[in-house]
Amino acid sequence: MRILSTKKGNDRSKSMALNLLATLCQGSAEISGIFRHVQALLIDSEGTSKALCLDSLSLTKNVLASDNHDPKDIRASLETTLLPQLCEAVHEQWYKLIAEALRALAQVPRFFPDSASVCDQLVNAVEPLLAAHDVDQEIKECALKAAGNLLVFCKVREDQSSRLLQLLLERLKNETTRIAAIKTLSFVGACDLSPILAEAVQAMRNFLQLSSRGLKQSSLEALDI
């Protein structure tokens, strides 16, 4: 941790420290201290290299994805330190940073099922990227994953849910994102899909008439759910 907090350490040593923490955090760890160091790296955007920011986001994603930490510690540490920086990271220029920020944000909803303020922050960060057409394919797929987790784990408002579902339907109708959108539909199948259900079923019905086995299989699985 001392390597991360000193300005004398070079990027390579800090990156190795972050990778070591990512491994250690599969077990128990002092979450608030880790998040404070990550926050400092993300805030200092001019002094922190893009590669080091990427490692910081990957570490955060690994911590949030692990089941070995007390959810209370995660909630407290996120709300008081890191969440604003994660949301801000989706505005970076490098697509890998944006995608990794979305992967980290996708892990957040399950820790805040009843927090309207956190839900609003997440929707504001994810929705523009879900709607964007001129972004990398990796970003589109990560945005779909993050939106799916929002719909399943957070109590999003009706207007937010409607917008996210309409964007999901748009992705379903787009050739480059339709398989990822079908997987997201499968994941959110227990939610209220009534705003898009008829059109989504019709789209997947049409997919069954195409020659792609993978597309047919994904469509059948989603329809079954």
Query: What is the 3-state secondary structure of 122-156?
Result: HHHHHHHHHHCCCCCHHHHHHHHHHHHHHHHHCCC
Over the range 30-63, which residues count as b (16 or more CB within 10 Å of their CB) and which as e?
Answer: ebeebbbbbbbbbeeeeebeeebbbbbbbbbbbb
Locus of tokens 């020659």: 211
Give the percent of the chain with pLDDT over 70.
Answer: 89
Residue 29, sorted as left (phi over 0), alpha (psi -120 to 50) or beta, turns out to be: beta
The first and second tokens of residue 203, run together, are 């789209």
- Give the pLDDT mean for 170-183: 96
- Predicted pLDDT at 31: 81
Mean pLDDT of the chain: 89
- Predicted pLDDT at 20: 66
Distance CA(118)–CA(102), nearest Å, equals 15
- Predicted pLDDT at 102: 98
Torsion angle of alpha carbons 37, 61, 99, 105, nearest 10°? -90
- Predicted pLDDT at 13: 72
Asked if residues 185 and 168 have their Cβ atoms less than 8 Å apart, the reply is yes
pTM, two decimals, is 0.87
pLDDT at 49 over 60: yes
- Predicted pLDDT at 192: 93
pLDDT at 46 over 90: no
| Residue, of 17 and 33, whose pLDDT is higher | 33
- Predicted pLDDT at 41: 87
pLDDT at 92 over 60: yes
Locus of tokens 């979450």: 31
pLDDT at 154 over 90: yes
Distance CA(182)–CA(219), nearest Å, equals 7
Taking alpha carbons only, the member of 196, 173, 186, 193 closest to residue 225 is 186
pLDDT at 179 over 80: yes
